[in-house]
A and B are shown apart, each in its own frame.
Chain A
Amino acid sequence: MEIPEIVGAGLIVIGAGLGIGRIGGSAMDAIARQPEAAAKIQTAMIIAAALIEGIGFAALFAK
């Protein structure tokens, strides 16, 4: 049985979503633990999330 491409894209997007969720959650934990480092954590979080987001978009548009 042939699996449509869109299913693969969906899987990748689910993975990317989970990844970004984890990054966000961990960043919240880290900020709660060290509020004075919030700015640095935020920057790192956005960069990491942006990289994963890139993969998600690539999956969406590569089809």
Chain B
Amino acid sequence: MRSNFTVLIALAGFLFFTPLAYAQGENHEEIQHEQAHHEDAHHAEVHDEASGEKDIKGVIKETIEHHLADSYEFHITEGVGFPLPVILVDGGLKVFLSSEFHHGGVAAVDGAHYKVNHGKIYKTDAAGTITYDDHHHPTNDKPLDLSITKNVFMILVMAVFMFFLFRGVAKTYQTSLAPKKAGRFLEPIIIYVRDEIAIPNIGEKHYKKYMSYLLTVFFFIWFLNLVGMTPLGVNVTGNIAITFSLALMTFIITQVSGKKDYWMHIFWMPGVPVLIRPVLAIIELIGLFVKPFSLMIRLYANMLAGHVVIMSILGLIFIFSSWVAAVPFSFLTLFLSVLELLVAALQAYIFTMLTSLYFGAAVEEHEHH
């Protein structure tokens, strides 16, 4: 009991102080970043209005955007971090470390030159020229970018972590029927996913073959959401490509396991007048794609919004730059961080829940109408 309490206090302290320290680190780094790219036309907009207050607002906005965006190096805090491999498919596979970009911002590999502009790699010349169209979009060629970015790196780390964690849990069952170690904490959650999410929505008969996907997706989203709350500054689940991939998998599994009844309810709804059936079919067909789309957007927007809100409130501390503001805003940040811990679990739950609901609709066998 006492040790639990100590852990709780330590956790609270960790949550309370780390975002502060982290934001400060990001901030410094960003300011330097700003100065380095001062000639950049886009950034100049922020700096044109040279008043100090506007400047710090711009810096905070940049910091948040930087935090939410993917990156080619794993940057923890000022001076602490490591480059990650860049993998480009551009007339053959080109692999180099992102530290190559440090030489004047342009990486020269096998005679080709690449430059990072707004988080994306463009093909450029030796001087690193980027040309823009009317809408301020670069017109340079973009090679297919399969780099191990910060987010990809986190995914890999998470995959390895999850594999060893759950294999470890599985191994403890070889010696005893009761859960041991981490299993004591994880087993109730696994059983919860099975008994409260999978079985009621999919049904006793079919749920077994979906358990692997549901459990993996639940823990993957939950753990990555939690990692997003740490000062590592990664935002994996708040990334549209990640949520798109997850939603696409749900979509594919749903359609593949769709039985006759499922397709009949989409294209030729039984129990309604024949004239209405084609109209319903169109609506159902749209719904077919809206479901995974909302699944994708929900997770993405929730995690993104959580990060933006927390960082914005942290930014307020720097705007007011006074201890009078720092204390309440710090507590507000703490409160929101705890709320985000809840959201982290809630979004994983909702994603898994809706996924199993869609699976359930796909395998459901109706009584004859």
Query: Which residues of B are interface residues toward A (Cβ below 8 A)?
Result: 196, 200-201, 290, 293-294, 297-298, 301, 350, 353-354, 357
CA distance A54 to B183 in the complex (A): 35
**When the two chains form their complex, are residues B294 and A47 in contact, meaning their CB atoms are under 8 A apart?**
no
Q: Which residues does chain A contribute within 8 Å of B290, judged by CB atoms?
A: 54, 58
Tell me the total A-B contact number using a CB cutoff of 8 A: 33
CA distance A19 to B200 in the complex (A): 26
**When the two chains form their complex, are residues A57 and B353 in contact, meaning their CB atoms are under 8 A apart?**
no
Q: Which residues does chain A contribute within 8 Å of B354, judged by CB atoms?
A: 47, 50
Residues from 24 to 45 in A contacting B, C-beta threshold 8 Å: 39, 43
- Across the interface, B350 reaches (CB within 8 A) one of A50, A58, A60, A61, namely A50
**When the two chains form their complex, are residues A53 and B196 in contact, meaning their CB atoms are under 8 A apart?**
no
**When the two chains form their complex, are residues B353 and A39 in contact, meaning their CB atoms are under 8 A apart?**
no
Q: Which residues does chain B contribute within 8 Å of A14, judged by CB atoms?
A: none
A-B interface, 8 closest residue pairs, ranked by CB to CB distance from nearest: A54-B294, A57-B297, A57-B301, A50-B354, A53-B298, A61-B297, A50-B350, A57-B298
**When the two chains form their complex, are residues B350 and A46 in contact, meaning their CB atoms are under 8 A apart?**
yes
**When the two chains form their complex, are residues A53 and B200 in contact, meaning their CB atoms are under 8 A apart?**
no
CA distance A47 to B353 in the complex (A): 9
**When the two chains form their complex, are residues B200 and A58 in contact, meaning their CB atoms are under 8 A apart?**
no
CA distance A39 to B85 in the complex (A): 48
CA distance A17 to B354 in the complex (A): 20
**When the two chains form their complex, are residues B200 and A50 in contact, meaning their CB atoms are under 8 A apart?**
no
CA distance A57 to B350 in the complex (A): 15
**When the two chains form their complex, are residues A54 and B298 in contact, meaning their CB atoms are under 8 A apart?**
yes
Q: Which residues does chain A contribute within 8 Å of B200, judged by CB atoms?
A: 39, 43
Decide: A57 near B294, CB < 8 A? Known: A39-B196, A43-B200, A50-B350.
yes
**When the two chains form their complex, are residues A50 and B196 in contact, meaning their CB atoms are under 8 A apart?**
no
CA distance A47 to B298 in the complex (A): 13
Decide: A46 near B196, CB < 8 A? Known: A54-B297, A57-B294, A61-B297.
no
Q: Which residues does chain A contribute within 8 Å of B353, judged by CB atoms?
A: 43, 46-47
**When the two chains form their complex, are residues A60 and B294 in contact, meaning their CB atoms are under 8 A apart?**
no
CA distance A34 to B172 in the complex (A): 41
CA distance A58 to B294 in the complex (A): 8
